[in-house]
Chain A
Amino acid sequence: MIEDDLRAAFVRHEPLAPPTGPLRAAIDRLTIRRRRRRRRWQAGGTALALLAVLVLGVPLLTPEPAGPPPTAELLSESGRPAPTGALNVLLLGIDGAGPEGARADAVLLVHIPADRSRPYLVSLPRDLGVPIPGQGTDKLNAAFPFGAGFTRPEMTKGYELTRRTVTELTGVRVDAGMVLTYRAVRSLTDAVGGVPACLPEAVRSVHTKRLFPAGCHRLDGAASVDLLRQRYGLPAGTQDRDRNARVFAAGLVRQAADQGVLTDPVRLAKLLTIVGPDLVVSPDRGAVLDLLRLVPTLRSVDPVGLSLPVAGLLEKDRYLRTDPKLAPEFLTALREDRLGDWTARYPKLVDSAR
């Protein structure tokens, strides 16, 4: 009898149940917020890891005979302490498959602040007129072929001259660097299972006629390369392409983090063997290992996309010039490790997160 009373009491209180509509919306909202927080956590902490890992791929490719697989060094402890202070890593995206006539289509400086809050991706416009050591003034992207030489081109020398040019332009010390070919981008993208990227405006490929509508995409390797090559028809030409490259790089880091590639030594080693042969990196391997040790100290945030402010129109001038007012301020912020203040002051010059 008490059992019957219980049953009746339960059924009688059924109308207490609130409607599900608002609850369901609240659940979805909260889920999105937590998923985002979780992803930011992973992405930020591993942003540098990806870079460092890529940079580790170098030894596979540098002229010296291939040593033991880098994973061994990756996992072993070494006596050098993790670096302190701000760090700058130079990334060059090279068109063409090899050094012949290759120009740096994308020049990207990855800035890791001393407080390890979040990585900054800073594009240096390739059409910027800059003094190139020993070559007079030319476009930034010409530093690579000038350095590599024309008879028997060498990627490491092209990287080296670009590094010196960037150092003179910005005044920051470059701690490590890496040269990526489009082929490396393609294999890397496919190896992590595609990269999510959100485009603020549509892009039509002049090479394949493919249309990338505005909005979010998941790009495979071929599509990534196709997108990264486009600059004609974009409202701001190469600057829009630089922005697409930053969006892509941030997406690549997120994807690698989401896939857990960076925390799994086996998958990491596999990735290195896939991408390694297409990479060239600065010769100082010690600096590279230092970078890797820095990863756990990074607080976790998405990369912030920025560009060196420039003025001038390519139709009218031969080169782009640095913006007379904004560029000195920006470079001072970069040198003094105050890019956080800069982004707070000029939020419109920051790429939207996604």
Chain B
Amino acid sequence: MTYEEFADTRLAPLLRYAVMLTGDPHQAQDLVQETMVRVQLNWRRVAHADSPERYVRRMLTNQYVDWKRGSWMRRVLLRGDPDESLPASVDHAQSAVDRDQIWTWLSRLPRRQRATLVLRYYEDLPDAEIADILGCAVGTVRSSISRALATLRAEYVEVRS
């Protein structure tokens, strides 16, 4: 497989995956761009992997989890939680706002936990593959998913009460 063939078919799904990870189209673009530049520079090694697709997803996920660069951190901190102040007065929109609150809560999760949620509930990957992508044990994947879900449930309870 050539890099061009790979990009033809995989760029769009990777971009969607990055949107789910970051929750933001611009950050997703940055993340995918940085990863794909490295993919292209090291294409021979990527192409030799058992599954180039999984190899690249792993690169991108690690990039997301480890991204410590100043610009990235600053942007995350500046983001704040604007959605919380959304007026929730219109009744028929109430359920939509409820659901979008999930999106806000997701952004507060540690990046690793968010990645596990995306991989299981958006990409529908089995736990073993998630563990492979994150480079950890299957047990760690499960515990981190249950912790993330517990956090989200707590938020639910808080809003309802």
Contact = CB atoms under 8 A, between A and B. Distances in A.
Chain A contact residues, majority secondary structure: helix
B118 interface: yes
Nearest to B35: A27
A14 interface: yes
A7 B122 contact: yes
B40 interface: yes
B102 A9 contact: yes
- Chain B contact residues: helix, strand, loop or mixed: helix
User: How many B residues touch the partner, as a band?
Assistant: 20 to 34
B15 A20 contact: yes
A1 B123 CA distance: 18
Interface in A3-38: 3, 5-14, 16-18, 20, 23-24, 26-28, 30-31, 34-35, 38
A10 B28 contact: no
A2 B152 contact: yes
Interface residue tally of chain A, by bracket?
A: 20 to 34
A6 B16 contact: no
Interface in B1-43: 7, 11-12, 15-16, 19-20, 23-25, 28-29, 32-33, 36-37, 40-41
B67 interface: no
B29 A23 contact: yes
Interface of B: 7, 11-12, 15-16, 19-20, 23-25, 28-29, 32-33, 36-37, 40-41, 99-100, 102-103, 106, 117-118, 121-122, 149, 152-153, 156
Interface of A: 2-3, 5-14, 16-18, 20, 23-24, 26-28, 30-31, 34-35, 38
Given A10-B121, A17-B16, A20-B12, 7 more contacts: A6-B102, A9-B99, A9-B102, A10-B118, A13-B19, A13-B23, A20-B15
